[in-house]
Structures are given as C-alpha cells and as structure tokens.
Amino acid sequence: MKILVIGGGGFIGSHLVNDMVAAGHVVTALGRRPVPFRPLPPNVGYVSGSLDDRNLMRRLVADSDAVAHLASATVPTTGDKNPVEDVQANLIGTLNLLDAMAETGCDRLLYISSGGTVYGVPQSTPITELHPLAPVCSYGIVKVAIETYLNLYARTSGLRPITIRASNPYGPFQGNLGIQGIIGTYLNRALNHQPIEIWGDGSTIRDFIFVPDLTRLCLTALESNKVGIYNGGTGHGTSIQEIAELVQEATGQKIPVLYRPGRKLDVPISVLDTTKAQTDFGWTPSVSLREGISLTWANLEHENHIFSTAQS
Amino acid sequence: MKILVIGGGGFIGSHLVNDMVAAGHVVTALGRRPVPFRPLPPNVGYVSGSLDDRNLMRRLVADSDAVAHLASATVPTTGDKNPVEDVQANLIGTLNLLDAMAETGCDRLLYISSGGTVYGVPQSTPITELHPLAPVCSYGIVKVAIETYLNLYARTSGLRPITIRASNPYGPFQGNLGIQGIIGTYLNRALNHQPIEIWGDGSTIRDFIFVPDLTRLCLTALESNKVGIYNGGTGHGTSIQEIAELVQEATGQKIPVLYRPGRKLDVPISVLDTTKAQTDFGWTPSVSLREGISLTWANLEHENHIFSTAQS
C-alpha cells in the first residue's frame, strides 16, 4: 500500500514507518519539523507541513491508499496549559484530514488514540474498550472528540477507521525532554548522572509497552479489514516507583530520587485489557518491561557513544 | 445577581432573561445579532458580539457574578455540514469564555447542553444522566467536549458549573426556519397554509418541553449551590406523527403531510429521565404538550395579527 504517516517523523511514527517499509509498503511521512527527528529509511519521502494546510493534506491524501495519523501537537502535560491551542492544533487539524479523505475518497485510516487518558479514572482494571470515556485532561478530551468524529465520518463519508488506544509506549529514540515518557526521561537522566523526579508518591500505575510491540499491532490493524477501537497495551501495571528501580537495575546506577507533588491530570492507575486485539489479530506483546528497558538503555548508550565520538 | 446571558437574544435565552429579570437579577445579554431577535425587557443591557472576542469576554465576565451560556452557532442539522466551523465557533468559543472566567474569578456558570444528542442512540429510555455519552452528530460531539472541559476547569480553576441537558424545547418565539424545532416549524407552516414535512416515517420519538418550564429549571439550577449535570425534559416521549396530529388539532387545520427520507443524525428515540432535577430542585414541568402547543399557536397568531396590522 501507499501509506501517508502523519507524525511519521516522531517517536512512535518513526518506528511504524520502519515496520511499514520492512513489510513492503511505500511510505510518505508528514511531520512538523523541517527534518525528521531521526533519519528515516532512504526510500521514505518526508514532507514538512501541518494538518492545517488543507491543500497539502488533499494532495498527500489523494496520492495514498491509507493514512496513519499519529500526530499530536501536545502531550498530556502541555494540553491543559492551553486548551484552545490543543483543540485548534489537534482536533481542527484532524477534521481537516478527515475532510481531505472524504473529498479524495481515501477511506482507510489508522488513528493512534490514548488509552492512558480517554478513560479517565478507571472504574476497574484492566480497562476494556467498553469502559466509559471520562477524560480528566484536555489531551484526553480532544482524543475522545476525535474518536467520535471518526465514527461520524464512517457513517457520513464511508471512512474505515481503526483506532489503537495506546498505553504508555517507551523504547529506543523516545524524546527525553521530560514532558513525555517517564522511562526515556529517567534513562536520559541516568546517562547524564542526574537525579530523577517522581510526581506523587510513586504509587501511580501505568501500562508500559515497548514501542516495537505497539507498532506491530498498529500495522497489523491497518493491514486488516477491521474497523473500530482496540486497546494497545500489555495488560500489566507497573508503578512509577518500580520503574525507578528497574532503571537503576538496567543502568547499574544508584540514581537519587526527588519526590514532587502529584499532578491533577494524573489518574492513579491505568492498565489496558488487550483481549480484543489478541482475539482479532492474534497479537501479543513480546518484550518484557525489564528486557525493554535494557534494550532502550543499550540503544541510548550506543547513540551517546556515536554522538560523543562525532563531537571529539 | 449580575448575570451575563450568552445567547440571551435567542429563543431559550430571551425566555430565561425574562425569568431572571422577574426574579430581580440584573442581566446583560450577549448575542451575535446586531439586535436581539425579539425585544428584551427595557432594563436589560444587550451587547452584540462573539465568544471569539477575548477582550470583550473578559470585560463582560469581570462585571458579572454568574454566566449563563446558551449560545450555539450551529444546530444538529447544520453542525455535520461543517464540523471544523462547529468546533471553531462553539468549542473554541466556549474555551475562550472559560479562560475569561478563570482569569477574572467569576466562577458560576450555567451551561445548556443537549439531552437529545449527547447520549446518541439510547441503550434504554428514559435516559438518566449516567447513560454513556455516544453522540452521533457533530453538534453532540462538541457538547460532550464542552461538558468535559467544564469538569476540567472545575478542577483546575475552581469553576462551579451546572449543566442542563435540555430535551426538545418549544414555545412562543421559537425560530421557524425549519432548521430547529419541529413544533415551531409546523405551526408556522400551518399559519401560512403550507404542507408539513416528516423526515422518516414519523415514528421518531422526542421529549418536548415547553420553554418556560425549561427556563424555570435553568434559573433554579443557577441560583442553587449545586454543580453537575441535570437532564431538562419531561420524561414523556411523543412521536413526530403525534406532533403533526396535535398541530392539526391546535390549529383546527387539515394540513397536508409530505414524507421525506430519514436523516442519519436522527436517533430513533430520545426521552430524558428528570428524576435528578425533581429530587434536587423540587422541579417538575407544569405545561402539557397539548396545552403548550395551543399556547404557542395562540402566540403565533397574535404576533402575526400585530405584524399584519402594522403592515396594513
């Protein structure tokens, strides 16, 4: 297939693009950066642009058999600071994409939603796809609105959307600026011999998924004929305190921990039930958290070594 | 209280403004029209402007003890035609209002949501406030997003929001352009001796509430200390076919009925359970549908008589 990957220059997107190329697809990646944040395979086209650019979207979509939409201009920590911007960039941007797809007849869409925010504070765990949607942050509100619009466009324009509600992905090449992905942030801190921060008492539980496991699910889902919503997690919960310990173990470092006040947008627990994805796609995550953190650390040290060598 | 009524020049808004003035409140009405669509009480200030005007919103909100937000730039039939515009005007506009309230410390907000669209196709009727939210039209998606943002601002900015999910209001001075409110449309057609249209087979069931009953609930809710969400309906369902018959009865006319294909945005049934409002506010609707349609017809004939007399 000819696939347009929106957000293809980002963390999850760049892994997904690699999977797609390996599976023989022809990929164009769209990103906001002038260049992707890490090099893409040589035969992948990269376009720097925005969902707001309606003419660009129509042109790119008209030339594609399917679209994978992973772009988000915000993360949970930044969305609440400016909900207007969050809605403008992510919701209106996505509606521009859906309008472009309706106009050009490109009807297959993979959308990456957020299993960690759309459900809000869970009534029970692990959380199935049928759990009520009650987001407590702007990021999650926008994701819910987008998911609902996908259903609307399915009815009105024949869109065939498949949504993966991802839990907390981590792995090689994750950003480490401290705003997204605690494992990447902690490993980067370890690399720089800096203390790590825990927001709250460390009891907050998340469902961490190794990014290649997640992108394998995404590609399988996109290639299938299914439409609908699937959780993309592991079914296992790990506390932030345990993550801090696993990072110490993987890096072989004793890292000081600074405890900070809890944030209002943090739900206490989020663990996804992935029975539906297992049943429909025969998919299961294959990399344990301990193994995944070790692999991520090895990659980070390797990258750092290349960078240091290039600098010296 | 000094109350800012956004949408105070509209159908529900103008009734609510009258109730507020009668209860001794000092009211400023904000509307998009240069002048309100019908004259407001002489001591009510009317400001023509938009939610998009952040400076205007800040100034108006700073001078108010409470805000009632009834404005919508779309109705269910128009929202789906341009979801981008729907989100831009209604969701971003409302976020501008919430930001203005957070900045100025005005913390009391009455919001009129849509009991007919936020629940989507009901799992059971009458629908309680705990029914899952699954809107099937853009209008409803935006209402759900706004309701969720109200909760977010309650947590982050101390907003005290109270939301009334209105069913289908009808009554004197309803618009009759055929895009909102079937009773107003039918009565106006009867007045002009035109046939009436039924979308689908006439079996679609709605919960029609006489607008003064609804605005009485709205004002009671706003004056209370409650926060949260309340259905505003009657608990009784009436089919469109029955409405057509009641209109014939009230007007004493035999009106031809034209049947049109059903619309995708129409859910087959929507009847609201109003136990919560009855329990918390001792409120019940007081005007039966037959009585309400007769009163609306009498008002329409009266208005038409004044208009005809003025023309001749």
Q: What is the pLDDT of residue B80?
A: 83
Q: Where are the domains of chain B?
A: 2-172+209-232, 182-203+237-269+287-311
Q: How far is B152 from chain A (nearest CA, A)?
A: 6
Are domains A2-174+209-235+269-287 and A182-202+238-266+296-311 of this chain identical in fold?
Answer: no
A182-202+238-266+296-311 homologous superfamily? UDP-galactose 4-epimerase, domain 1 (3.90.25.10)
Bridge partners for B113 per DSSP: B165
Q: Which CATH class is domain B182-203+237-269+287-311?
A: alpha beta
Of B293, B287, B259, B260, which Cα lies nearest the Cα of B187? B293
Banded pLDDT at B131 (limits 50, 70, 90): very high
Report how far residue A46's alpha carbon sits from residue A104's, in angstroms, rounded to the nearest whole number. Answer: 21
pLDDT for res A248: 95
Q: How far is CA A90 from the centre of its chain?
A: 14
Tens of pLDDT, residues B48-93: 999 999 999 999 999 999 999 999 887 777 778 899 999 999 999 9
Distance between CA atoms of residues A222 and A217, nearest Å: 9
- Between the two ends of chain B, the Cα-to-Cα distance in Å is 43
DSSP bridge partners of B237? none
Residue position matching structure tokens 């609440």: A80
Of all residues in chain A, the one with the smallest CA distance to B147 is: A141
What pLDDT, on a 0 to 100 scale, did the predictor assign at position B77?
A: 73
ipTM of the complex: 0.87
Q: Which two tokens stand for residue B110?
A: 């009455």
Percentage of chain B exceeding pLDDT 70: 97
Q: What is each CA distance from B211 to B11, B15, B35, in whole angstroms?
A: 9, 7, 21
Global pTM reads 0.91
| C-alpha to C-alpha distance for B150 and B107, rounded to whole angstroms | 11
Say whether pLDDT at B307 is over 80.
no
Residue A135 and residue B148: Cβ atoms within 8 Å?
A: yes
**Contact (CB<8Å) A152/B136:** yes
DSSP, residue by residue, A49-76: --TT-HHHHHHHHHT-SEEEE---S--H
What pLDDT is stored for residue A264 in this prediction? Answer: 63
Q: What per-residue confidence (pLDDT) applies to B191?
A: 92
Q: What angle do CA A284, A286, A292 make, to 5 degrees?
A: 135
Mutate to test the interface with A, among B58, B85, B95 (most CBs of A within 10 A): B95
Question: Under CATH, which architecture does the A2-174+209-235+269-287 domain have?
Answer: 3-Layer(aba) Sandwich (3.40)
Nearest CB partner across the interface for A149, out of B83, B98, B264: B83
> Per the CB < 8 Å rule, is B135 touching A145?
no
Residue to test with chain B: of A84, A157, A159, most B Cβ within 10 A: A84
**What integer pLDDT is reported at residue A79 of this predicted model?**
78
Q: Summarize the confidence of residues B225-238 as an average pLDDT.
A: 98
Task: Name chain A contacts of B99, Cβ cutoff 8 Å.
Answer: 83-84
For B19, the enclosing helix (H) or strand (E) is: helix B11-22
Write the residue in B92, B138, B149 that is nearest to A141 by C-beta: B149
Q: At B200, phi and psi to the nearest 5?
A: 95, -160
A152 to B80: CB separation less than 8 angstroms, yes or no? yes
Nearest to A145 among B95, B141, B152 (CB): B141
- Nearest-neighbour CA in chain B from A88: distance (Å): 8
Tens digits of residue pLDDT in B240-263: 999 999 999 999 999 999 999 877
Of the pLDDT bands very low, low, confident and very high (cuts 50, 70, 90), residue B178 is low
**Residue with structure tokens 């706003």?**
B222
Q: What averages of pLDDT result for each successive group of 10 residues across chain A (312 residues)?
A: 95 95 97 87 94 96 97 80 93 97 97 96 96 94 98 96 97 74 92 91 94 98 98 97 96 92 79 98 97 95 80 65
- 3-class secondary structure, B166: strand
pLDDT band at B199 (very low <50, low <70, confident <90, very high): confident
Using CA atoms, how far residue A181 sits from A70, A169, B95, B123, in Å, is: 16, 7, 28, 38
List of residues 6+ apart from B179 with CB closer than 8 A: B75, B77, B78
The correct CATH number of B2-172+209-232 out of 3.40.50.720, 1.10.10.10, 3.40.30.160, 3.40.630.10 is: 3.40.50.720
Answer yes or no: are the C-beta atoms of B94 and B145 closer than 8 Å.
no
Assess whether pLDDT exceeds 80 at residue B311.
Answer: no
Which range, of A37-46, A168-177, B153-162, B182-191, averages the lowest pLDDT?
A168-177
- Are B149 and A91 inside 8 Å of each other by CB? no
